Copies of this chain bind each other. A is one copy, B any other.
């Protein structure tokens, strides 16, 4: 299957065209036309191997296919998609010898995206492939002010909703700045004549009273059982000093909706994130070798030899180019022939160790708590409860009962056995929703650091520009190469980047 056009094709990789490809901000249409014209100039089509059928590898295979090439994708597991994984009735997962069987009811609305679960509105590459491959999308709620925010230090005040924190924060900050400005203390930034305008703005921003004091706002919530026939009483606010003492704010939880990639409203494919990886896979399925783990990548002349195992037998195949679309850790293990700098760069990536837990449950969060979609937070291991945005009002739903990102020193949740993670999720969820333990069932958990061929989540290190360049016949792809690690968008961009240098 390998072609011998290596030398001729290699000459196309001039320093100049690389620099061009690098410096321009390509649209996918431009990239495709760029690849097309380069391939047209090549005397023979190069043979390309792709290691890993995660979204980076699948996109690379799909795009090469569109150009008439016949890449081969080596996938170690029995499933395409990589960390894109949707669990539903009868799914099985394995982690370090521990098996879990998914006991959700058989219903297309009852699924658990154990890997990526949201698409940003700005992720044009992901959205492009969804459109091109007819993956149906729907909007989801990412931030919902009705969600709870449970912090141990404030637990005695009863359940507090996100809106109470957010309104208190805006109100407290606006009030304190207004006090300064009213006292003439504007640090030379606001000319005296403009102070009244800024005060009016602050009053709006924080919902201050006419005396520029913040004494609470309906934005933060009103007392339980308020009746529209009577004026509602705002809940008493949290004080700025109190908010500042909570170290919890140093994480981004209270500002999730402010972030560019973590908007209040995001998107998901209907019926599971794996509709994206499946749609790509359908286009290239005959080029993908499942259950086919690579064991070594070696240089052979200007090309490479891929060593792998199939049906228990060792085998090898030569290629002109190899796109390595796995985690950096795995890549480093196979690539004894990578340049030393490349190996060091691969090994230097510090990976997150995320774990999620999901339960099937009656939708008590809707009927009892008035929460429709979005997230509740806690300062315990489970970090959040994530409510489904789809099938609102139906009887049952899948609740993400833990999403521990595993990005902070001392984080150990992802290292626990699944049964223990599920038990902790029940225990900690109970503190947010009394009665939780008895309402949730069919618990299942995924820890990516315990999953074979992944051994982690996303990269927490700065991307290495060295890895964005070819290393002889080897090119790298994967979200860790981008400034959007942990996002499908970053993985796709990295695949495009690799292709632009093929």
Contacts and interface: CB of A to CB of B under 8 A. Distances in A.
A279 interface: no
A229 B481 contact: yes
Interface in A354-376: 367, 370-374
Identical copies in the complex:
2
9 contacts: A127-B370, A143-B264, A145-B257, A146-B263, A166-B258, A177-B177, A179-B189, A180-B187, A229-B482
A473 B187 CA distance: 65
A109 to B, nearest CB: 12
Nearest to A239: B189
Interface stretch (A35-43, A195-203, A435-443): A195-203
Interface string A151-189: 000000000000100110110011011011001011101
Interface stretch (A6-14, A214-222, A314-322, A404-412): A214-222
Interface string A90-120: 0000000000000000000000000000000
Contacts of A218: 259-260
B177 A173 contact: yes
Contact of A228 (B169, B204, B241, B483): B483
A236 to B, nearest CB: 15
Given A176-B187, A240-B198, A483-B229, A204 B249 contact: yes
Given A137-B392, A166-B258, A190-B240, 11 more contacts: A25-B227, A121-B371, A122-B370, A141-B264, A143-B264, A145-B257, A176-B177, A189-B240, A194-B245, A201-B249, A204-B250
B260 A219 contact: yes
B244 A201 contact: yes
Contacts of A202: 173
Contacts of A374: 265
A190 B245 CA distance: 12
Given A198-B241, A241-B198, A265-B372, A393 B137 contact: yes
A205 to B, nearest CB: 6
Contact of A257 (B130, B131, B257): B257
Interface stretch (A329-337, A416-424, A490-498): A490-498
| Ranked 3 nearest A-B pairs via Cβ | A228-B493, A228-B482, A141-B265
Given A200-B250, A229-B468, A392-B267, A173 B173 contact: yes
A144 interface: yes
A219 B25 contact: no
Given A197-B244, A371-B121, A139 B25 contact: no
